[in-house]
């Protein structure tokens, strides 16, 4: 299964691979290795696009007392910070870095109501850069429910990512684990959690979006 945000790119990549294969087959007659190499190049670019836009089915065990990982990737930051865009107070920041090889679907970490949503144009620093959360192209979304209160997550474009897709809209009621958007070609997601939140992850953990519990309330 592939994400709907990739359908046009997948079709384009398939056509490119097809054209490359036909060109090599009928225009390069006396260089067998060169012909095979060019055809392999076309096939590899198609496979890379397919794996990037894959959208594996995930079954979320909905639990109002759990926060689940919004994306696949590696936990690169866990620290107490001053969140200055929305809360303007101390929060726990959890940052998950996605390489181009990860699934790039963004999923809602909890059920609730979208309280805030804002897009910020910006730079394209590498996603693990400490300032990417403030300087890169990004979208900030705040969800609210009765258990966790308000939780902010931020989709951040990386050096390769050039488009953030966000499905959250202010006032919308959302369900934990469902599709919240997509970030194309490498990126990061930051979460800003209440200070009293109990974390179930540690630095450098590799998490699985839509299924893995990353924090809980008792």
pLDDT digits (tens, 9 = 90+) for 109-122: 999 999 999 998 86
pLDDT at 199: 97
Asked if residues 98 and 154 have their Cβ atoms less than 8 Å apart, the reply is: no
| pLDDT band at 145; cut points 50, 70, 90 | very high
- Long-range residue pairs from 79-85, CB within 8 A, at least 24 positions apart, any chain: 80/195, 81/192, 83/152, 83/192, 85/118, 85/140, 85/152
Q: What is the pLDDT of residue 144?
A: 97
Assess whether pLDDT exceeds 60 at residue 162.
Answer: no
Cα Rg of the chain, angstroms: 20
Q: What is the pLDDT of residues 191-213, one digit of tens each?
A: 999 999 999 999 999 999 999 99
- Confirm whether 130 is a catalytic residue: no
Query: pLDDT tens digits, residue range 15-58?
Result: 988 888 878 777 787 787 888 888 888 888 888 777 777 778 88
Pick the catalytic residue from 13, 111, 133, 187. 187
Alpha carbons 211 and 168: distance in angstroms, whole number = 20
What are the DSSP E strand ranges found in 20-148? 66-68, 73-83, 89-98, 105-107, 112-120, 138-145
Q: How many Cα neighbours within 13 Å face the side chain of 37?
A: 5
Give 78-87 pLDDT, tens digit per residue. 999 999 999 9
Q: How large is the average pLDDT for residues 96-117?
A: 91
pTM of the model: 0.81
Mean pLDDT computed over 161-179:
89
Question: What's the rounded Cα separation, in Å, for the pair 146 and 209?
Answer: 22
Q: Which residue has the tokens 């890379």?
A: 48
Distance between CA atoms of residues 188 and 176, nearest Å? 19
The residue with greater pLDDT, 165 or 133, is 165
- Give the three-class secondary structure for 149: strand
70 neighbors 109 (Cβ within 8 angstroms): yes
Give yes or no for a contact between 57 and 211, defined as CB atoms under 8 angstroms apart: no
Q: Using an 8 Å Cβ cutoff, are 91 and 152 in contact?
A: yes
Distances, alpha carbon 63 to alpha carbons 18, 45, 60, 76, 201, in Å: 46, 40, 9, 25, 17
């Amino acid at each position: 299964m592939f994400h709907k945000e990739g359908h046009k790119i997948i079709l384009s990549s398939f056509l490119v691979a097809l054209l490359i294969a036909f060109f090599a087959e009928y225009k390069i007659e006396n260089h067998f290795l060169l012909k095979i190499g060019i055809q392999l190049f076309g096939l590899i670019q198609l496979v890379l696009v397919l794996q990037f836009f894959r959208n594996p089915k995930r079954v979320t065990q909905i639990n109002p007392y759990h926060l689940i990982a919004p994306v696949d990737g590696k936990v690169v930051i866990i620290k107490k910070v001053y969140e200055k865009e929305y809360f303007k107070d101390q929060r726990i920041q959890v940052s998950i870095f996605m390489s181009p090889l990860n699934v790039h679907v963004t999923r809602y970490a909890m059920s609730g109501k979208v309280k805030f949503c804002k897009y910020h144009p910006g730079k394209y620093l590498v996603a693990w850069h400490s300032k990417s959360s403030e300087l890169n192209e990004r979208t900030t979304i705040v969800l609210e429910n009765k258990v966790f209160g308000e939780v902010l997550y931020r989709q951040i474009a990386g050096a390769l990512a050039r488009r953030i897709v966000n499905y959250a809209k202010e006032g919308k009621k959302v369900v934990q684990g469902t599709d919240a958007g997509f970030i194309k070609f490498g990126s990061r997601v930051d979460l800003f959690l209440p200070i009293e939140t109990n974390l179930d992850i540690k630095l450098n953990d590799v998490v699985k979006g839509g299924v893995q519990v990353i924090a809980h309330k008792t």
